[in-house]
Structure 1
Amino acid sequence: MHSAHYNGGRADWRDTATRYALLPLRVFLGVTFIYAGLDKLTDSAFMQEAGAGSIGDTMRAVRDSSAIPALVDLALENPVAFGYAIAGGELAVGIGTLLGLLSRLAALGGALISLSLWLTVSWASDPYYYGNDLAYLMAWLPLVLAGAPLLSLDATLRSRRRRRAYR
C-alpha cells in the first residue's frame, strides 16, 4: 500500500514545500517594496522637482530612451506628486503583499509599477536583462495568479467566511 506517509514522509515534505513555495517570494517582494517606498519618502533629494537624485531629473534623464515617452511626460507634469504616488503605491503593494491582504490586487499593483518602471526607467538597459524592473515584473506574476493562500490575512478571512457559512 502506497500513501503520502509512506517512503519516510518524503511525499508529505514535498507537498508542504509546494504549498509554501511562494512564501519566500512574497516576503522578498513585500519587504523590498515597503523599503523602496519608505526610501523615497525619506529622501529629501528624491522628492524634488529638480536637482541631483531628484525624481524630476531622473524622469527627464530617461524620457528620450523610454519605450513610452508620453508616460514620462505625464509624470513630468508634476514630478513630485508622481514621486509621492509611486512611493505610496510601493508601500501599499508591499504591505498588502507581506500581510497577504488583497494579495492578488497588491501583486497586480506591484506588477504594474514594475511594468511602468521597465517601460520608462530601465527600458534602455542593454542587454535587457541588466534592467531589474523586468525581473520584478516576472516575479510578481506568480503572486497575481496564486495570491497568498497560506499565512495571510486573505486565508484567515476566507476561513472565517467558510465557518460562518456552515453554521
Structure 2
Amino acid sequence: MAHTRQGGSTGAGTGGGGVRAFPSRPRRWFDRARELGFRYALLPLRIFLGVTFVYAGLDKLDDKTFLAAQGSGSIGELMRSVRDTSAVPWLVDRALTDPVAFGEAIAWGEIAVGVGTLVGLLGRLAALGGALISLSLWLTVSWQTTPYYYGNDLAYLMAWLPLVLAGAAAPSLDALIAKRRRRRA
C-alpha cells in the first residue's frame, strides 16, 4: 500500500502535481506489520483452544473410569453430584439417562471442535460448537463454583466468542477454499 502526501508546492520527487511519487519506507513497513498483526491476531487463540479441546476429548475417551455410569471419577457420578446445584438441572437429568453416551458425545464433540479450529475448517461453526460445549459445562459442572471466575468453563466460553465472530482467518482451510472460489469466479 503506497501512501502519498498531498501538497500545493511542486518540487523534486513530487511529480509536479504536489503528490509524492515514492512511499515512505518506514510507513510501508509499519502498515505491513500491522496488516500481518490483524491477519494472525487470533491464531494463538485458535491453536490454544484447538489443542486443548482435542486433548480434552482424547483424555476423556482414554479414561475408562470417566466413561462409566457410576463409580468414583465417572461421568455419571459427576452428573449426579452437580444435579442440584446446576443452573439447568433438566440438562443434567437428560445426561443422566445415559451418562456414558453423554460423556462420549462431549469427548467426540471436543475433538471435532478442536480439529476444526486447528485446521480452520468451518471455523465459525467449530467455534460455535466450542462455545456451546463450554456453555453447557459452565451451566452444569462449573455453575456452583464461587467466585464465578474460578470456574474455567466461563473463561473458555468467552475465549470462543471472538472466533465465533471472526471465523478462522489465514492460515486456514476456510481461507484456502475462499481463495480458490475467488479465482474460479
TM over 0.5: yes
1:158 and 1:58, CA in 2 relative to 1: closer, same or farther beyond 3 A? same
- 1:9-158 equivalence runs, <5 A: 9-158=29-178
Residue 26 of structure 2: SS of its match in structure 1? coil
With a CA cutoff of 8 Å and minimum separation of 6, indicate the structure with the bigger relative contact order. 1
Aligned-pair CA distance for 1:7 = 3.9
Aligned-pair CA distance for 1:4 = 7.5
Aligned-pair CA distance for 1:5 = 4.4
Give the whole-Å Cα distance in 2 for the aligned partners of 1:4 and 1:139. Answer: 38
The TM-score with structure 2 as length reference comes to 0.86
Q: Which moved more, 1:1-10 or 1:66-75?
A: 1-10
Aligned-pair CA distance for 1:130 = 0.2
The residue that corresponds to 2:20 in the other structure is none
Give the whole-Å Cα distance in 2 for the aligned partners of 1:105 and 1:10. Answer: 33
Aligned-pair CA distance for 1:16 = 1.1
1:4 and 1:17, CA in 2 relative to 1: closer, same or farther beyond 3 A? farther
Give the whole-Å Cα distance in 2 for the aligned partners of 1:6 and 1:87. Answer: 49
Give the counterpart letter for 1:108 in structure 2: L
The TM-score with structure 1 as length reference comes to 0.95
1:162 and 1:32, CA in 2 relative to 1: closer, same or farther beyond 3 A? same
Structure 1 unaligned blocks of 5 or more: none
Give the whole-Å Cα distance in 2 for the aligned partners of 1:158 and 1:4. Answer: 33
Kindly report the root-mean-square deviation, in angstroms, between the aligned alpha carbons of the 2 structures.
Answer: 1.4
Contact 1:4 / 1:11 at 8 angstroms: preserved in 2?
no
Give the whole-Å Cα distance in 2 for the aligned partners of 1:112 and 1:5. Answer: 46
- Number of residue equivalences: 165
Give the whole-Å Cα distance in 1 for the aligned partners of 2:51 and 2:24. Answer: 35
Structure 2 unaligned blocks of 5 or more: 6-22
Percentage of identical aligned residues: 68
